[in-house]
Chain A
């Protein structure tokens, strides 16, 4: 059961998925009505569209677990939490309940595992990591949505508010020049353009 193209296959498998789809396929209607584009660009702001400050701190911590900051910037520096917040107010509004329920579930897990601690964002890195493994095993929709939303926030065009300073693209080695000629990479360095 197959079709012709790997990217379509991957794109569409993900976009056909109820959880990941919304992060990959900003709906055509949104595009046509302009609501998607009118929400751009987003400077760093303390005002959230959908999150409370506490929610934002948790989502920021999770995004930083998924793509951490090490010798190079990660999801935190790229503004992934700002992207997710704005997306949930616009094209991804269908997932607000999924995020609200997921965050509430996570808060319960924090309380159960660490009595007296009221937020995931206040745990240390090892504690966060352990709990996030837990979410991965037991709340797959929320986990999948977080992965998809973080990837979109890291790698979508910066005009949507994430991928700040093109940090996501720099991580991958993608360049947005949209005009290339040989050599494209290492293996064609000795090739001459036929055309």
Chain B
């Protein structure tokens, strides 16, 4: 591939007054897919991205600058959040959510675990019945509806894995385009533990290239995946895998430093474009025939709520009242263990083996949902020194130094990923008092865990300890399971459904209320799945793009 200078404009350039076919808000996991698919289908597309347009050459193995995502995510100084645990309480300022704020979004810095949802994730309410205190519902689509698009994600984005290796895998129409990444010592320990427990460890499906693919390089196992951008383009972010294709069409403009503040509508109730702040905080209106929101499960509902008008007094696309409601994160629990020999988890991708024997649990346990596990060690040196040791370890002095020396190369962590139930009271709303640096309302989060999720995560943490002991850990320990923020999987806040009274978008991600408005990102989720939502976000995006292109060609989308 020809090398391009970092700041060189590669795509099309449109004037805000040009009425393009689609304006997309957010250039992340979903927005990158929509941009590529719609521009390749012949449409003129502008993508508005809050953050900068960084390239692979900008990403460094530098924990201080990059490791905490500070260069790649939202900044609470300029965009504060507020938080409360109940709708009756006054929310207080607190950084409660983190998302990728650059071209590529969270797919730039994510770990790249690409689990498909299983069949049960779409139909669990019908199969298991209602749950008190949860707004539990089934999806309007099934796994079979989405399967072709999961396959499309794997082949278009570039996912490494081994079909048939996981006995719990749902049916698939095609294998992975790339073989699994090499097994790490952590993966060997996972296999050892699973075998002893009668469980099954299988090669982790990862959106990281095990071999060169479509002009991108294979992973060199540097170990700087999670919280870092990939300097090789081996991680299949939309920055590496989708956006270059979109720009190549000559019909797509990626517009960084563009912060959407309102979706505009006309007297007929149709969207006419998006008003945004440019880098100098000037308001600009980009006209478009259709609007696509891919801004994530917090920013998307915020933008809809900010777009109220006399016709849409409770926020755009919100006649149901479901915009912002049913916020979910994915449950989780973790445990650590130290082993006799060197694991060196700092080398290579985060996960090489996954275990899903707990994906669906024995009903006798009385727990809704389920989850899966991986063995990992993803703490870079500073974070390890401050947070990787058992909580009863010395914090300073000779004992501390000795543990740093012994544990860094010999520790494994088992991470449990699990269901999070939807609750109407868990939500994203606009804070009535606090504003961001642009004068827009701060995101207010209301969240408290469902009792089922507390019990499920305790159960999963117990099994994580079992796995560490089965793997032969000399010592194992639990990390506290107390409420913890910020969250990064932002799901459920613009629910998909057939009933316009109980959902925001239809089965193809079109707004029930505004026919030329498409919403696709984590906000579309009806259930949380068991973890690792990006694969499903992108499958929905490929499907929504196909439908939108068809509708637009029919003249049915403006």
Contact = CB atoms under 8 A, between A and B. Distances in A.
Contacts of A6: 334, 376, 378-379, 413, 415, 479
B315 interface: no
A49 interface: no
A130 to B, nearest CB: 12
A136 B401 CA distance: 17
Contacts of B226: 5, 7-8
Interface of A: 1-16, 20-21, 23-29, 31-32, 36, 65-68, 70, 72, 74, 129, 132, 136, 147-148, 151-152, 154-157, 159-160, 168-169, 171-174, 176, 178-188, 191, 193-195
Interface stretch (B317-325, B337-345, B509-517): B337-345
B342 A186 contact: yes
A8 B227 contact: yes
Nearest to B332: A2
Nearest to A193: B182
A28 B329 CA distance: 25
A170 to B, nearest CB: 10
A12 B68 contact: yes
Contacts of B178: 195
A20 to B, nearest CB: 7
Nearest to B63: A156
A195 B179 contact: yes
B111 A4 contact: yes
Contact size class for B? 35 or more
A74 B179 contact: no
25 contacts: A2-B481, A2-B484, A3-B486, A3-B489, A5-B378, A7-B378, A8-B69, A10-B379, A12-B98, A13-B387, A13-B485, A14-B387, A20-B386, A25-B70, A26-B70, A28-B71, A68-B401, A156-B63, A157-B62, A179-B221, A180-B221, A181-B221, A185-B342, A188-B184, A188-B187
A143 to B, nearest CB: 9
Contact of B408 (A2, A20, A32, A172): A172
B378 A3 contact: no
Interface stretch (B270-278, B300-308, B390-398, B550-558): B390-398
Give the residue among B52, B67, B179 with the most A Cβ atoms within 10 A.
B67
A67 B400 contact: yes
Nearest to A183: B185
A1 B188 contact: no
B483 interface: yes
Given A3-B330, A66-B400, A174-B408, A28 B61 contact: no
A16 B485 contact: yes
Given A4-B111, A13-B484, A24 B67 contact: yes
A74 B185 CA distance: 29
B205 interface: no
Contacts of A67: 396, 400-401, 404
B142 to A, nearest CB: 25
A3 B381 contact: no
Contact of B68 (A15, A66, A157, A183): A15
Interface in B453-509: 457, 479, 481, 483-489
B388 interface: yes
B65 A171 contact: no
Contacts of B415: 4-6
A5 B486 contact: no
Contacts of A8: 69, 98, 226-227, 488
B456 to A, nearest CB: 10
A184 B184 contact: yes
Given A4-B531, A10-B388, A185 B344 contact: yes
Nearest to A151: B385
A159 B237 CA distance: 28
B105 interface: no
Nearest to B218: A195
A74 B380 CA distance: 19
A4 to B, nearest CB: 6
Nearest to A70: B398
Contacts of A3: 329-330, 332, 484, 486-489
Contact of B183 (A20, A28, A156, A194): A194
B258 interface: no
Given A11-B383, A24-B64, A147-B386, A180 B348 contact: yes
Contacts of A23: 382
